[in-house]
Amino acid sequence: MTSNTLAFPASGVGALRQHPLVERYAPVATIVLALVAIWYVAAVLMNLSLVRDGFEREETPYTVSDLIAGTMSAERPLLPAPHQVIEAFTDSVFGYAPTAPRSLVYHSAVTLSATLLGFALGALLGIALALLIVHSRVLEKSLLPWIICSQMVPILALAPIFVVVLGAIGLHGLLPKSIISAYLCFFPITIGMVKGFTSPDPMQLDLMRTWSATPRQVLSKLRWPSAVPYLFASLKVAISISLIGAIVAELPTGAEAGIGARLLAGSYYGQTVQIWSALLASAVLASGLIALVGLSERIVGRQMGTRP
């Protein structure tokens, strides 16, 4: 309790303002409301000419309220209104069986499997590279420039090459997508883990030396545990990148399923509502994945005695 509430015990607004739920969620809710409001205004402005042309073509008389109502329910709007997106999203998530080709759950699952496999591959690769770099100066000098270069090439240019090359050696479907996803997400993990493996205090390293610990013991008992906070920080970045990688990989593969395929199909047929609901699905997926990493971080942190 702050002195503020003691000074104004009768003030209802002040009490409400300091309610823990309000304190926690009010800032987020305010931003969301503001964004939705801006979105509606933008939807009206952007779709206005489209709707007016429609009315004029059919030569029906219209009022301003007709116009505004039209901008929010157009079939193929330039910018769909939020409620249209939500409606299409819930419809395609709950309206079909999860295995139906029109179900967003189905497409999300396809992308999710490529994401998770790519994330796992990328994490392993990233940690392995970090270990090599930390243990050898020569490898640091020879590997690091290539690792950095690998991230300078736009993935949109690389993805088709990957698909063609991997297709030529008989790899189709899930694996090429996962490899593209892994290619994108190993980088933050390598950088984070190099930092993490070198983070132990010099004193702690000296201690290990006074006990004449083997390099393997130094790794398992000091460098690994010290790197854990860095690991989770980089995993959080990596998991959202690997989702993006999986979606991008679906574009040139001409995939028939997956969030990327939905985006592609939506843009072919001008189905803006479909594009936006696919985007919403990927946002939901990404938040879920990050939340999962955050949860495992908390569980591991509790076991490692992290200060609450």
Interface residue list for another protein (CB under 8 A): 201, 203-204, 206-213, 217, 221-222, 225, 228, 304-307
Minimal distance, residue 208 CB to another protein, in Å:
8
The answer to whether residues 271 and 76 touch, using CB atoms and an 8 Å cutoff, is yes
The SS3 call for residue 18 is coil
The end-to-end CA distance of the chain, in Å, is 21
Cβ nearer to another protein, comparing 27 with 225 = 225
Q: Minimum Å distance from CB 232 to another protein?
A: 13
Residue 239: name the closest of 286, 281, 280, 282 by CA: 286
Closest-CA residue to 181 (of 128, 250, 131, 130)? 250
Residue with Cβ nearer another protein (93 or 222): 222
Spacing of C-alpha 28 from chain mean position: 19
Smallest distance from another protein to CB 211, Å: 5
Cα separation, 129 vs 189, in Å, equals: 9
**Residue 113 vs 204, nearer CB to another protein:** 204
Q: How far is the CB of 206 from another protein (least distance, A)?
A: 6
C-alpha 306/C-alpha 308 separation (Å) is 6
Q: How far is the CB of 135 from another protein (least distance, A)?
A: 19
Question: For residues 97 and 203, which CB has a smaller minimum distance to another protein in the complex?
Answer: 203
- From the CB of 222, what's the least distance to another protein, in Å? 7
The structure tokens listed for 238 are 């990596």
Which of 60/303 has CB closer to another protein? 303
What are the distances in angstroms from CA 151 to CA 145, 154, 182, 189, 231? 10, 7, 12, 13, 19
Nearer to another protein, 113 or 199 (CB): 199
